Amino acid sequence: MALYAELARMLADRQKQILAVWIARTLQSYNSSDFFINSQDRFANPVGMLVRDGLTRVFELLRTEAEAEAFVQPLDQVIRIRAVQEFAASQAVVPFLELKWVVREVLNEDPPANPPTGELHHFDCAVDRVALTAFDLYCQCREQLYRTRIREVKSGRARFTDSGCPSRLADAGTGGGASEKS
């Protein structure tokens, strides 16, 4: 059963405005935001376009009260990027929480739309769930990075450094790689 049917209609009416503000705010968390916001080429501007597409899909899923699993892919698309940029965990997931503020701002614009009592609370709760899912995904991305680092270290590729010379290591008593210290 829909928990915020009336609100959903209002969100549909003002979807364009909400998304414009939400996407702009999110992309403004980057130092050079103009390019990320303005360039519309998905290959020339991957961060801007992946975030734009991800947030758009998340909003549509929220509006239609979709099942939790449906959110994972679009959330991952946004969070996977923010997980490798220099954001704190809180900064990485904050755009999703900010949607609550954006929705209120746009609904309050003239003429104000007044959703039925209680519906906004349900919507806020759905947004919070989205943010928590995003946080889980953020953690998964970080764990994946650490596992990747370990895999590289263990693989032959990483033996450029730190292990000394493999051939010398096999030769007991030379102290592995120490030959350069003479």
Binding residues for other proteins, per CB under 8 A? 13-14, 17, 20-21, 24-25, 28-33, 35-36, 39, 41-47, 50, 80-81, 84-86, 90-91, 94-95, 97-98, 101-102, 105-106, 109-113, 141, 144-145, 148-149, 151-153, 155-161, 164-168, 170, 177, 179-181
Nearer to other proteins, 1 or 181 (CB): 181
Report the nearest approach of other proteins to the CB of residue 76 (Å).
11
CB 17 within 8 A of CB 25: no
Positive or negative CA dihedral for 117, 118, 120, 123?
A: negative
Task: Note if the bond before 111 is cis, omega within 30 degrees.
Answer: yes
Report the nearest approach of other proteins to the CB of residue 119 (Å).
18
CB 119 within 8 A of CB 3: yes
Nearer to other proteins, 3 or 33 (CB): 33
Report the nearest approach of other proteins to the CB of residue 46 (Å).
4
Using CA atoms, how far apart are residues 55 and 63, in angstroms rounded to an integer? 12
Nearer to other proteins, 111 or 173 (CB): 111
Nearer to other proteins, 116 or 166 (CB): 166
Q: How far apart are the first and last CA of the chain?
A: 78
The residues, ordered by sequence, that sit 6+ positions from 36 with a Cβ below 8 Å of its Cβ are 27, 30, 45, 47, 48, 51
Residue 135 burial (C-beta neighbours within 10 Å; 0-12, 13-18, 19+):
middle
Report the nearest approach of other proteins to the CB of residue 40 (Å).
13
Report the nearest approach of other proteins to the CB of residue 163 (Å).
9
